[in-house]
Amino acid sequence: MEETQQTTHIVILPSPGMGHLIPFIELAKRLVHLHDFSITFIIPNTNGSSSKAQKVVLDALPKRINSIFLPPVDLDDLDDEDEVKVETHIFLTMFRSIPSLRKIFKDLITATRVVTLVVDQFGTDAFDVAREFNVLPYIFIPTAAMMVSWFFLLPKFDAIYSCEYRDLPEPVTMPGCIPVHGRDFADPAQDRKNEAYKWILHHSKRYRLAEGVIVNTFIDLEPRTIKAMKEGKVPGMPPIYPVGPLTQDGANCESDQYCLRWLDDQPHGSVLFLSFGSGGALSLEQMTELALGLELSEQRFLWVVRNPSQLAVNTGYIHGGQSTDEDPFPFLPKVMLVEDSKVALRLKVGENGVIGRREIARVMKNLMQGEEGKKVRHKMRELKEAAAMVLREDGSCTQSLLEVTQIWKRHMIV
């Protein structure tokens, strides 16, 4: 404990789910490696135990990164489990974990030099705890800067429009972003009477209480959006710090090693990777269509298959990179990837809400062999090179992370 008492200490509060935990872990490792912090993860949960995957990841962290699991919260009062969106479960878990968080915070403040609390988009209720202990509250958004703009502007949209967003006749505009149709808003915002939307709106109104917003993106990926934010064109937005790309490196289990060995035997750039995150699953009908579409496409593929669950994912996009982060807001960033960054192709969803096998095969062939696919892969190579540049010692994202960490260290002195 002597080391942590002399070191700037950061508390990280991710939402439940591996897809929320992994980006935070990569941020934490960078903070420890580059800036000599000590870090404590405080992890809310609903069942009192971490998953096997979480344990594997947490056990492999550097010694200066510790973790504490909060007691499980009671969600038995939810009326109808089938009608409650997964986001509502997350929101309530975070909100009802606040009393336990406050107790742990009190102990940490006594034993360490905590200066900063970092939460994700679901954790703003913890800002009150941070302020009680004179700790700086920050938000970390593991997805696109465009998503950050949407969060900050949602209260404005809510005040302006009375109809459902999907019924808006024209796209909405956000500073530095491509116009977005209401039907492409985040899924929880498609039903404004649902509790999930009310919770999103609640958190969106609290984002301006943060001292800053850390985003897993970089200037070459979203130049206009980041520029607009830094110029103050998004009302109420605190300073923004693009620190990405944060990516998970290395395999964690035997199955990962098997898959990597198989990939090593395939021609370069010849494999489609499909994953819908740790919290996502396809309906049985969509899974069947996807399997048949893969067969029709005659392309090599690696598919992370999960059982059907409450969350059915029909995002309708195939992109030229690989991502295993679950995304509770799947549409907006992917619209940006298709229409702005030009690194994805969009599939057409059928009238029944299912993407058909022939459409899947068509787009997969196009991505791997067609002219559009060539452009996507070329753009991905350009962004890969740009990402390597921004992560160099003198790169923009390394300097952005340095800027925010200097603020934290100065707060420790005060």
d(CA 75, CA 151): 26
> Is 158 a catalytic site residue?
no
List all residues 6 or more positions away from 287 whose beta carbon is below 8 Å from its beta carbon: 305, 308
Structure tokens at 28: 């934490």
Contact 313, 281 (CB under 8 A): yes
d(CA 122, CA 87): 9
What's the one-letter identity of residue 273? F
d(CA 265, CA 272): 14
Structure tokens at 274: 């499909």
Dihedral sign computed on CA atoms, order 182, 315, 214, 240: negative
Residue 14 DSSP one-character state: P
d(CA 174, CA 154): 10
Q: What are phi and psi of 236, to 5 degrees?
A: 80, 0
Which of 9, 89, 120, 184 is flagged as catalytic? 120
d(CA 353, CA 366): 22
Contact 240, 226 (CB under 8 A): yes
Neighbours of 141 (CB within 10 A): 21
Q: Which of 24, 26, 30 shows the shortest CA–CA distance to 11?
A: 24
Which of 9, 20, 89, 203 is flagged as catalytic? 20
Alpha-helical runs (H) found in 36-144: 52-59, 86-96, 98-111, 127-132
Angle between helices 396-413 and 18-35 (to 10 degrees): 80
Alpha-helical runs (H) found in 71-140: 86-96, 98-111, 127-132
> Is 120 a catalytic site residue?
yes
Task: Give the residue numbers annotated as catalytic, written as ranges.
Answer: 20, 120
